[in-house]
Structure 1
């Protein structure tokens, strides 16, 4: 009976122990957002103004439109200065359907886009491919 346990059972036990260890180490590789990160406030964007108009600088990177979300105020004119810094995404323009904005973003050149948010809430903008890459303005 002893040779049976040594030759058959021990390898199975070693395999089971290895599988349990692999499962425990891969547990941290999930893409779930921790509750604390999901409730994080919008990043603070420095307040810049030109002639009473708020200026918000945005960059298009491999991560998308940054920073996002950005806090804006209803009925306060905004000038976006958007610079596309990558050619690795489809975000080669800014589209805001509700405001009739569809502006091309040449690589490495800042582009000014001026508009005034008319309604409070979440304003999603993005690329022309159905906003596959997008950013958010939170309008108060």
Structure 2
């Protein structure tokens, strides 16, 4: 089973970390969580720090999740960093999941995320 590495950006680390349990018994793995409040100030989100995380991880991340509570300007900035990284690193089948714009109709963020992941990676090309 091929592992799909994920990097998430959220306000609080513990919120993004809740995704780890639903990822059990799937090919998805939370490789890193960049946050705004839970880490020491020098290590919280900045475009530079996100770039360091993306380039340092091995295997390289294929998925970037932008949390719903991230501001529009910060979302634009981090998405720009993600796109530059995927182009530079030659990331195969990258996926951006931007959770801005309000909660899903059923309020289930995890179902929304899993649907996007499975929609991209659960197919004939990748054996799950």
Question: Under a length normalisation based on structure 2, what TM-score does the superposition of the two structures give?
Answer: 0.29
Structure whose residues are more often strand by fraction = 1
Greater relative contact order, per chain length (Cα 8 Å cut-off, separation 6+): 2
